[in-house]
Structure 1
Amino acid sequence: MPTEPPVPGIPLRPGRIGTGRLALFVAATAAPLTAVGGAIPIMYAVSGNVGAAFCFLMLTILLGVFAVGYAAMGRYVPNPGSVHSYIANGLGRAGAVGAAFAALVAYNALQISLYGLIGAIVGEFVGDEISIELDWWIWALLAWAVVGLLGVLQVDLSGTVLVGLLFLELLVLTALVALALDNPAGGRVDAAGLDPANLPVAGLGAVLALATAAFVGVESGPVHRTQVTDPGRTVARAGYLAIAGTGVCYALCAWALTVATGPENTATVAAVAGPQLVADVLARHGGAALGVAAQVLLGTAVLAALLAGHNSVARQFYALGFERVLPAALGRVGVRTGAPVAGSLVQTGLALAVLLGFAAAGRDPLTDMFAWLSGVGAVGVLVLLTLTSVAVVGFFNGRTVTAESRWQRLIAPTLATMGLSVVLVVLLADFGTLLAPGTPTYLRALLPALPVLAALLGLLRGVALRSLRPGVYARIGGGTREPVPTPQPAGAADRVEAQA
């Protein structure tokens, strides 16, 4: 299996990251303000469903169950940062290629969707504060140029910066919840957003799509297995903490927005305000300066998420090129930077083509570009997580000597498979609620089919490699191996490394 470029923001020396610090890194990867300030208002606007808060709690429990088997199998996988490595070791190498192709579509879609979001955010902020009125795509192109340049140079935000931004974002979100509950619309705190009965109504597909996309990043804990104090426990514990903390944060903030606006008015207010909604609530009850701070932090959070997403996709291209699943040119890195330059350029080119396509078609950056591509990404992510849970069961089946309990190797991944499958089926059946009225009918079927079609194409590619290039096929996923305990210096568990 190829050695991937260093993971951004994490020191590479082994045995230095504890549970708390890893949980912070993982939560920072999910960029909570991007979800609360961007995804949740758009979710309310396009769906009209006020049950988002309960949806986040439901997904938190489901992802927590998924993480049990995911972390358990991660001890045995040579490349635990790659879902296709799990699937290769649990379901076979041809299936792993299918998963890798689906991942490319899903994570490209999620990353590119953010250009619509940042274009709208910056455009509105500059228009309000400086009175410069420019089309959203101009600001999106500026962000694209910055991300493309930093990607080629292999520039990542350090872990210290990411965690610092996370703390600032959490301060803003705490203020949002406190001010909303202290100033409820109509003078009464309404719990409608937490009522399960409000979820299975109109717009459920849109809620599931955007809520699922909001959690992307919380599964990244196993990437850092070689750097933690106790690989057998730290990764799992940090994953549970990150999922629980992120999910509760999303649920509280989604509920707070319904309290601040009134559940009956939330969809209308969100449709008008868009990603300005959080800043509007904060400015109205906490002062204009707080609203401006929220807008600035939302912009920086989205830019950080764009850069992280770009580098992640570039590394996926790199790994598949190195393995010769895709053209070998994608497996090359820069001589000076060690960056996956070819993969970075391909991702940059794809982003530009999609961005210009939406701009030329006159589509809305939020309800069209951001919502549609987030939905495509959510379908792909659910397919990957479901296949991974099945792979966990397949991997441990027949292994007579393992340190994992029956709950870890069979019951939890089986329950996760069932739950994720249900969410995926409901999302596919109700995907049309994510699209605005008047959207061409064919898009209701085409958009959610993209990651599925990519998976089928990858599966065919894997089958072809098995017959035509068996040497390449044998290297897919890196094979299986038993976990090797990491030697622990005395007192290592008590040390926390400051970001270099």
Structure 2
Amino acid sequence: MSNMTVHTSTSDSGETTLARRTLGVPALVFLIIAASAPLTVLAGGATTSFAVTGEIGVPVGYLILGIVLVFFAVGYGRMSTVIQNAGAFYAYVTAGLGTTAGVGTSMLALVTYNAMQIGLYGVFGFTASSILQEITGAEVTWWVCGLAAWALVAVLGINKIDLSAKVLAAIVILEFVVVIGVSLMSFSVAPEGVTAEPFLPEHWLTGSLGALLAFGIAAFMGFESGAIYSEEAKDPERSVARATYIAVGIIALFYAFSSWAFAVGVGISDIVPQSQEWGPDLMFVFLDQHVPTLLANLGAVLFLTSILAAMIAFHNASARYFFSMGRVRVLPKYLGITGARNGAPTAGSLTQSGLGLVFIIIFALAGADSEFGPLYPVMTMFPWLTNAAGFGMVLLLSVTSVAIMRYFNSQPQRPSLFVRTVAPLIAAIGLCVVAVLIMFNFDVMIDADGFSPLVILIPGIIVASGLLGLAWGAYLKSSRPDIYREISRADIG
């Protein structure tokens, strides 16, 4: 199989080529793991999963999802050696299922990545506001803090990607240090002793398994993003696949280990009721009990930077999807413009920043007189948008798994049966099951009290974005065949 890359040229309105040979395997791994936000997962994701499911088998959920995603990564990693495109999902689906399906996937991916990135402004603003009040006594509303983060993300987004990679590397390393420290402390405290009870089947092979997987998938959001940077990788035929395998393994094992350790530290019989009482604050309550206040406050600040790292990572991913769609004129052509000196997807980055600003303003106005008070952004903006993104990501992975099978089985020089069929088929089945489980547990995920129209509306918007993309692809095929042909050539050689 010959390698297939995207060839672009300079237009009159600006550069249309991303910075080349910029990112090595370590930088890619940091970009991927930053999106998954290790400290945010332990403090927010794991405690929420303990609280909502009422089960102590949360660590097993991460392991099960990790296994499914390893199978996905087998075909996905091989595809990255064949096709290098900043719009990874849409390029792979175009190659395997056709241009119309690829355009539909591009729209789904755009909405998914933007929803995740923008939703994080809600939890960042609330957390920053709470930390400022705790440490300094100053009362700063959440949206002011959100705007400060927005400005920083916007500036980094229009700079060369290696600057973001360096910032994220520093943050991720600190996150790992904190989580490892909390885990070791948990084992040393262990009020009920160190036990492997959370891994026993009776604590996860229950009616709550669906909720465990539905909540757990958010922890892996971003693991696939290495392929998005393939055009900027130093050795895209090897480094993207390696970075993806490394990231999936680290994420699954690290999250399973740290959530198990934290349950042991709080107490196996107490982790569920304590999580239900304190939520994401439980880790900091735990730290307050066992370390000096200064260290506990430092942990809270690093939790904030963890969220910031995820926002930067998802901003970069969203900007590259805008760039990729603009380059082939699926979206307005100006989105395909990059910075002449730094190769950053400038137009796409500014567009993503603009969307973020609009949503911050909308939720700031909507929550001005809300009964939720300061909790408004974490009761609305954060869960609504990020859970929508989680559902969208599972759909993207499912469709891409099928496209990978179709593509490799159509090639004259095919990889092994395991790579071209077995692994992606297992991934597709597993991911479809997770998608169904998310649908059935969506009311729990958004903390709806009884039936809520949002249970239908939010997933409906995600599905509608894909359908709209399919309709747009069909329109381009019939009415703009020049663009339709360009999409096909750009994505598959």
TM-score, length basis structure 2: 0.87
1:119 equivalent to 2:130? Answer no
2:311 alignment counterpart: 306
Deviation, 1:53, is 1.1
Question: Do residues 420 (structure 1) and 440 (structure 2) align?
Answer: no
Q: Find 2:224's aligned residue among 202, 219, 223.
A: 219
Of 362, 378, 382 in structure 1, the residue corresponding to residue 394 of structure 2 is 382
Query: Residues of 1 paired with 2:232 and 2:347: CA distance?
Result: 28
In 1, distance between residues paired with 2:233 and 2:17?
Answer: 18
Deviation string, structure 1 residues 451-482 (Cα, Å, up to 9, x no partner): 1110000000001100101111112252434x
Say if 2:32 and 2:313, in contact at 8 Å, map to a contact too: no
The unaligned stretches of length 5 or more in structure 1 are 482-500
Matched, 1:262 2:273: no
**Cα separation, 2, equivalents of 1:425 and 1:284:** 40
Q: Deviations over 1:185-215 (max 9, x none)?
A: 4x33354433343335566555434421221
> 2:80 matched to which residue of 1?
74
Are 1:26 and 2:32 an aligned pair? yes
Give the counterpart of 2:107 among 92, 101, 105.
Answer: 101
Query: How far apart in 2 are the matches of 1:474 and 1:68?
Result: 29
The alpha-carbon deviation at position 174 of structure 1 amounts to 0.8
Q: 2:255 aligns with which of 250, 266, 271?
A: 250
Cα separation, 2, equivalents of 1:300 and 1:471? 45
- Among 410, 423, 430, the alignment partner of 1:398 is 410
Give TM-score scaled by structure 1 length.
0.86
CA displacement at 1:235 relative to structure 2: 3.7
Give the distance between the partners of 1:78 and 1:236, measured in 2 at CA: 11
Which moved further from structure 2: 69-78 or 447-456? Answer: 69-78
Q: Which residue of 1 aligns with 2:351?
A: 346
1:443 matched to 2:454? The reply is yes
Q: Which residue of 1 aligns with 2:151?
A: 145
Residue of 21, 25, 31 corresponding to 1:13: 21
Give the aligned partner of residue 458 of structure 1: 469
Q: What are the Cα deviations for residues 365-396 of structure 1, in whole angstroms up to 9, with x where unaligned?
A: 22432222221001110111111110011101
- For residues 351 and 422 of structure 1, the distance between their equivalents in structure 2, rounded to whole angstroms, comes to 31
- When structure 1 is superposed on structure 2, of 126-135 and 106-115 the one drifting more is 126-135
Q: Tell me if the contact between 2:18 and 2:231 (Cα under 8 Å) persists in the aligned partners.
A: no
Taking a change above 3 Å as real, the CA distance of residues 270 and 136 of structure 1, as seen in their structure-2 partners, is: farther
For 1:356 and 1:226, locate their aligned partners in 2 and report how far apart those are by CA, in whole Å. 34
Deviations 1:93-144 (CA, angstroms, capped at 9, x unpaired): 1101111111111111110121111112211211111111233233223222
Which shows bigger deviation, 90-99 or 350-359? Answer: 350-359
Aligned counterpart, 1:332: 337
Match of 2:136 in 1: 130
Gaps in structure 2 of 5+ consecutive residues: 1-5, 9-15
Contact in 2 for aligned 1:76/1:480 (Cα 8 Å)? no
1:371 paired residue number:
383
Task: Tell me what 1:480 maps to.
Answer: 492
1:38–1:117 CA contact under 8 A, matched in 2? no
For 1:397 and 1:250, locate their aligned partners in 2 and report how far apart those are by CA, in whole Å.
Answer: 35
Instruction: Give the equivalent residue in structure 2 for 1:165.
Output: 171
CA RMSD across the alignment: 2.8
Q: Is the 8 A contact 2:100 2:473 kept in 1?
A: yes
294, 299, 304: which one aligns with 1:289: 294
- How many pairs were matched up? 473
| Pair 1:471-2:482 in alignment | yes
- Most deviating of 377-386 and 443-452: 443-452
SS in 1 for 2:247: helix
Question: CA–CA distance in 2 between the matches of 1:113 and 1:94?
Answer: 29
Mapped to 2, the partners of 1:120 and 1:242 lie a distance apart of: 29
Which residue of 1 is the match for residue 362 of structure 2? 357
Asked whether the equivalents of residues 205 and 427 of structure 1 are also in contact (C-alpha less than 8 Å), the reply is yes
Q: CA deviation at 1:438?
A: 3.1
Give the match's secondary structure for 2:221: coil
Amino acid at match of 2:479: L
Query: 89, 113, 118: which one pairs with 1:83?
Result: 89
Cα separation, partners in 2 of 1:150 and 1:105, compared to 1, 3 Å: same
